[in-house]
Amino acid sequence: MSTPLRRRSNNNNNNSLNGNHTNGNGTNLMEIKKTNGIANGDGGKNKAPCMTWTARDVAYVARHHWIPCLFAVGVLFFTGVEYTLQMVPPSSQPFDIGFVATRSLHRVLANSPDLNTVLAALNTVFVAMQTTYIVWAWLMEGRPRPTISACFMFTCRGLLGYSTQLPLPQEFLGSGVDFPVGNVSFFLFYSGHVAGSMIASLDMRRMQRFRLAMVFDILNVLQSIRLLGTRGHYTIDLAVGLGAGILFDSLAGKYEEMTKRHSLTNGFSLVSKDDSLVN
């Protein structure tokens, strides 16, 4: 059960923030409040909820709803940061905290080209694993949701990546065996590596393939660290890629539900006749 946004009194006669309640005699408490308001000369207008809060109510919210309270503190903190942070001048490279955190890894890879090549090849193998699973789910298992998610995701990535083209970091360590293979140009924003892996991982969880999903998540974290170390992506690319995977997986699920409701009986289906669109 969800925790109410306000503490309840011991006699359970206090009304919550939402909804109407009755007292022990079955009388609607909201009607009582309105009547009392008219009697008190305020024209029947109730006080704003915050005007009725006590110190115990505030303590209750802080104790039982600490997650939104923590985010509220974050809003205040970053509001201060936004008003005091000095912007990076146009002549400088973008500041990236992920690049700062992976300086030592970048030095190792810069001094060991062979190691960089091996890690790049492993990354390409991981991308092939993602692609194989996503296509397999559709063609062999009759579940097109991961494929639809990937199509949505990569199309949106192409539009955004072309609309605002971020500069390639000066310290970028490329490799001919990295994906995209051959050191060809690619969109930085957002990370298709991370988003594709997230789409596959979410589908694995729906199918209760939890161990395989955990393997993909671990590999996703490792590839993210490598991408920061090689300066192949900015931190924001990876963070948005994670969110994009979740978003487009959800949109693909809604698309499946919509097509299931409105599909024609004799029309062509992306799934096998024995399988349901929604898992």
Per-residue pLDDT tens for 1-39? Answer: 556 665 555 544 444 444 444 544 444 544 544 444 444
Q: Which residues have a catalytic role annotated?
A: 193, 233, 237
- Residues 202-258 have pLDDT tens digits of 999 999 999 999 999 999 999 999 999 999 899 999 999 999 999 999 999 998 888
- The C-alpha angle with vertex 207 and arms to 206 and 209, in degrees rounded to 5, equals 105
How would residue 273 be classed by pLDDT, with cut points 50, 70 and 90?
very low
Same domain membership, residue 135 and residue 53: no
- Residues 257-268 have pLDDT tens digits of 888 877 655 555
Same domain membership, residue 187 and residue 74: no
Question: What is the model's pTM?
Answer: 0.72
Contacts of 50 (CB under 8 A, 6+ apart): none
Same domain membership, residue 158 and residue 37: no
Query: 192-206 and 235-262 are packed helices; what angle lies between their axes, rounded to 10 degrees?
Result: 50
Tell me: pLDDT of 68 over 50. Answer: yes
Same domain membership, residue 103 and residue 67: no
Residue 198: closest CA among 180, 224, 226: 224
CA atoms within 13 A on the CB side of 107: 4
Bridge partners (DSSP) listed for residue 28: 22
Same domain membership, residue 175 and residue 58: no
Containing domain of residue 77, as a range? 29-84
Domain count, the chain: 2
Same domain membership, residue 101 and residue 79: no
Whether residue 47 is contained in a domain is answered as yes
From CA 269, how far away is CA 266, in angstroms rounded? Answer: 9
Whether residue 122 is contained in a domain is answered as yes
Same domain membership, residue 101 and residue 123: yes
